[in-house]
Amino acid sequence: MFKFVKATAIILAGLLFAGAASAQTKVAVVNIQAAIMSTEKATAKINALKTSSEYSQLQNSAESIRAEVQKMAEDAQKNGVTWSEEKKAEEQRKMNFKRSDFETAVKKLRAMEGQAVQDLQKDLLPKAKEALEAVIKERKLDLVLDASAAVYAGTDANLTEELVKRLNAAK
């Protein structure tokens, strides 16, 4: 009797595993942010930002300040040995002010870039989700993961490029 129960259990387990193996889950990955930022619209918007006069002036200002700080640091290293304590403190204070100016300029540049990205996300995210849903239906996918969550995904399993193509075509 025990052999019969054991054999039946083995057969049932085999049938269950065979059924599970034949019903494969279709899985894919996508990086929606990368897809949005790779579109022609995003590239054009970022290029327009970087060539705008306000951005260019701010970037030139930051570069100029960075060069001044570097020159001040080189001067301090070269001549600092001969300076009085007051002169050293004064030069350090000037350098700190310049560094602060540089950091402020960089923060403004990053804020401008961040705003442009946020505007793109707001505009293109609904379109990207719609395009992704169409791809999911066409490919009859059961599961779509964020690409950053995947350890490995073959080229056929990554929907990012296809999403970029669809977003570019939709305009």
DSSP type of residue 158:
B
CB 159 within 8 A of CB 132: yes
pLDDT of residue 4 exceeding 70:
no
Model's pTM, two decimal places?
Answer: 0.71
| pLDDT one-digit tens code per residue, 86-130 | 999 999 999 999 999 999 999 999 999 999 999 999 999 999 999
- Who's near 50: CB < 8 A, 6+ residues apart? 56, 59
Residue 150 pLDDT: 84
- Per domain, the residue ranges of the chain are 25-170
Amino acid letter, 110: R
Residue 1 pLDDT: 53
Q: How far apart are CA 113 and CA 90, in angstroms?
A: 35
